[in-house]
Structure 1
């Protein structure tokens, strides 16, 4: 039964679209410059061309401009903080000393001989974070020549195994994994809020562009405002869909890659309920939920934030082993 399920997962995973990201390896830091260029273009359209000069007009228009600029700069600061946290944070790699605990009653092989477990059905005998026996198949990476912890996958772009790998993102020129997934979600969140704010703020200028009334400003600034509105509207809509998808992943305690596996799994054994699932990504300290950082207390007492050990539902694991 297990072999049949594994073969089903293999068919599903063979269509994983993220393997084609390997072709984008050459882009490198060009994508970072591209992202910063989009930010700079939107900044010019909103601040320099329109709401910056409106500060000196006086009256209600100046007050509106001040509020828009204050909110925009706050969101922009959080966006850039989250973005560079994703870019420069290692998503998590497998320590060279990491080894699974082998159930010796189920296997007579030497647990220190890695080649003996390449593609085998040896079972892990680790105590998971919930205190129960965690019988799952030991996974071995033939490319890295090392064991793979639970939820770890090999990235063909980074050419190494990534802890709780979600996907390789060309926009951040990095893998999204256990140690930077929260930062990636915050980047999506603040990018959506920023692009939505720019879209709403430039909407009057976009409407006036097609109206009969006289429009103040140079033709260049009007063109920039028009393009910035369309660009930010497109990003806001697309990022909203992407953000909703990842929120559903967090609620179910799965990743983009694991979403393929759950199609053939009746119950996902990492799903502990939406609140505990959320805390595995964002931590338990509410003060840190909306910033790309963790409290020292969470890092000390939550092993799942390190990417090597995750609590499971023992009864679900036992059911799937039948």
Structure 2
């Protein structure tokens, strides 16, 4: 019985790691959808309207194209920021700096940890001793910082892991979570805009009126409308879910842990929770980047240290 369970776990892990091969395919699919949308909106419909319609209609078409391109740039910037940014790995030979098991604020000394790290059995015992932050990953054979989880697809521990997303071909974690949220945000705005811009064409498609264009361009417009409408509705659901997670300072994985915890210790209030993801500099809130000051003053953005309610209560005294 034990052997079959081991084989099953190994097969599941093998399946997870095989998902890495979807990387280039998923990026090509995303770029393909962007390309089809660009062709339908710019080349087929609104580009010719700017050149040929004249008057107010040309100005409206030009304004629509400017907004379309602005959102597209922000969407692609956010998307590739998620794809190319490491979500956060545990530093080599990482050790907790505080002995929270005994409630002491002095660093753990070398006698407790040895030269580089604890032995496997000692680490397991420490991880199972009831300490809220000191945990051990048996797959990576290393200690795990708070809010860190192992990703079976990436094959390593990810700082403040939210989930592994096949669309961005990467884990979503501490260092790229903001970029992922901006990707959702700009995707929703862009797909909603495209849906509104092509709505008239879609309605005309089912009327008896004569529709200009070749069968190919009409089919592309129809497909683009359906795809963008579907993405707008689905992304809206994900966006609402992640907004609620940010407001409560949780991740998708931690949402299940929070259900069993009466008081979530990382919930510091909506403002501070928001700042732990987006920073305090308002100029950077809507772009996939952080100011140097935020990176220096907000440890949570580095993915290793997260303040708790107890920390803020202690500061008040």
TM-score (norm 1): 0.85
Give yes or no for the alignment of 1:102 onto 2:104: no
Match for residue 111 of structure 1 among 97, 110, 113: 113
Match for residue 227 of structure 1 among 219, 223, 230: 223
Give yes or no for the alignment of 1:301 onto 2:297: yes
Q: Report the equivalent of 2:30.
A: 35
Answer yes or no: is the 8 Å Cα contact 1:18–1:168 preserved in 2.
no
Q: Report the equivalent of 1:237.
A: 233
Kindly state the Cα deviation for residue 25 of structure 1 after the two structures are TM-superposed: 2.6
- Distance in 2, Cα, partners of 1:30 & 1:245: 27
How far does the alpha carbon of each residue in 1:203-255 deviate from its partner, in whole angstroms, 9 at most, with x for none? 00000011111111222111111111011000000000000000000000000
- 1:171-320 → structure 2 map (5 Å cutoff): 171-314=167-310
Q: Structure 1 291/137 Cα, relative in aligned 2: closer, same or farther at 3 Å?
A: closer
- Distance in 2, Cα, partners of 1:233 & 1:216: 23
The two structures, once aligned, show a CA RMSD in angstroms of 2.5
- Distance in 2, Cα, partners of 1:119 & 1:220: 66
Kindly state the Cα deviation for residue 111 of structure 1 after the two structures are TM-superposed: 2.8
Give yes or no for the alignment of 1:162 onto 2:158: yes
Q: Structure 1 20/314 Cα, relative in aligned 2: closer, same or farther at 3 Å?
A: farther
Decide which structure has greater helix share.
2
Give yes or no for the alignment of 1:51 onto 2:78: no
Q: Report the equivalent of 1:14.
A: none
Runs of 4+ in 1 over 6 A off after TM superposition: 17-20, 106-109, 315-318
Kindly state the Cα deviation for residue 114 of structure 1 after the two structures are TM-superposed: 4.0
Answer yes or no: is the 8 Å Cα contact 2:17–2:155 preserved in 1.
no
- Distance in 2, Cα, partners of 1:36 & 1:243: 21
Q: Structure 1 231/105 Cα, relative in aligned 2: closer, same or farther at 3 Å?
A: closer
TM-score (norm 2): 0.86
How far does the alpha carbon of each residue in 1:16-64 deviate from its partner, in whole angstroms, 9 at most, with x for none? x999755523212110011000010111010011000001120121111
Gap regions ≥5 residues in structure 2: 1-11
Higher relative contact order (CA 8 A, sep 6+): 1
How far does the alpha carbon of each residue in 1:260-282 deviate from its partner, in whole angstroms, 9 at most, with x for none? 10111111100000110000000
Q: Report the equivalent of 1:138.
A: 134
